[in-house]
Amino acid sequence: MTPADLVLTPKGVRFLGKTYPCTIGKGGIKTDKREGDGATPRGIHRIVGMLYRPDRIAKPTDWAKPIGPADLWSDDATHEDYNMMVRAPYPHSHEALRRSDPLYDLVILTDWNWPYAVKGRGSAIFIHQYRRAGYPTEGCIAFRRDHLHEIARRIRYQTRLIVG
């Protein structure tokens, strides 16, 4: 563990000497994560990318990729694109990345069950903005908007999310 890791603690996520309040999945923390259980998976997860809404925010880092109107995330465990970014039209179960609310204006991607997804083990664990303090996610880690943006500016590809 290094100071540059995002470490989930009972008080929030510790990162570079500061602790940021956050919310986790409504299903708590689980070792045996499954699709749809609402749990945040225990483990060490690498940061593998960052997405942002260019129509709403400035590019947060030089390696962030824009979210376009047709960008989706497949959560269909029966399809070959399970737990991958896909584009509309996409007839299988998916989540829109370009949302009307601000939750996915900035999304940090982890390597949970990626790039070689095990069917049913659970799709993407994102780091994103929360709805409000204390409101749980579907398994992701979520922060207050200003905290998320501060973290995004300071992380690197070698940063890990550690959920104990």
pLDDT by residue (tens digit) across 132-150?
999 999 999 999 999 999 9
In the structure encoding, which two tokens stand for residue 85, read together? Answer: 């970014």
138 in helix, strand or coil?
A: coil
Q: Find residue 49's DSSP bridge partners.
A: 109
What CA dihedral angle connects 64, 108, 142 and 40, to 10 degrees? 170
Predicted model pTM: 0.95
Residue 13 lies in a domain: yes
- Supply the mean pLDDT for the chain: 96
pLDDT band at 157 (very low <50, low <70, confident <90, very high): confident
Residue 81 sits in which domain range? 6-163
In a domain, 104, yes or no: yes
Task: Tell whether 150 is covered by a domain.
Answer: yes
Q: pLDDT tens across 8-18, in order?
A: 999 999 999 99
Residue-level pLDDT at 90: 97
Q: How far apart are CA 32 and CA 17, in angstroms?
A: 30
Q: What is the dihedral of CA 34, 39, 42, 46, to 10 degrees?
A: 90
User: Is the peptide bond prior to 115 cis by the omega test (within 30 degrees of 0)?
Assistant: yes
Residue 79: the pLDDT is 93
Give the pLDDT confidence of 77-112 residue by residue, as tens digits.
Answer: 999 999 999 999 999 999 999 999 999 999 999 999
Q: Is residue 92 part of a domain?
A: yes
Output phi, psi for 148, to 5 deg.
Answer: -60, -45
Domain-embedded: residue 96: yes
Q: Is 31:58 a contact under the CB 8 Å cutoff? A: no
What is the model's pLDDT at position 139?
97
Report if residue 134 sits inside a domain: yes
Q: How far apart are CA 47 and CA 59, in angstroms?
A: 17
Sheet holding 85-87, edge to edge: 85-87, 71-74, 94-96
Domain count, the chain: 1
Tell me: the pLDDT tens digits for 36-87? 999 999 999 999 999 999 999 999 999 999 999 999 999 999 999 999 999 9
Residue 69 belongs to domain with CATH number: 2.40.440
Decide if 65 is inside a domain: yes
pLDDT attached to residue 97 = 98
Contact yes or no for 48/110 (Cβ under 8 A): yes
Q: Which residue has the tokens 């509309």?
A: 88
| Domain contains 1 | no
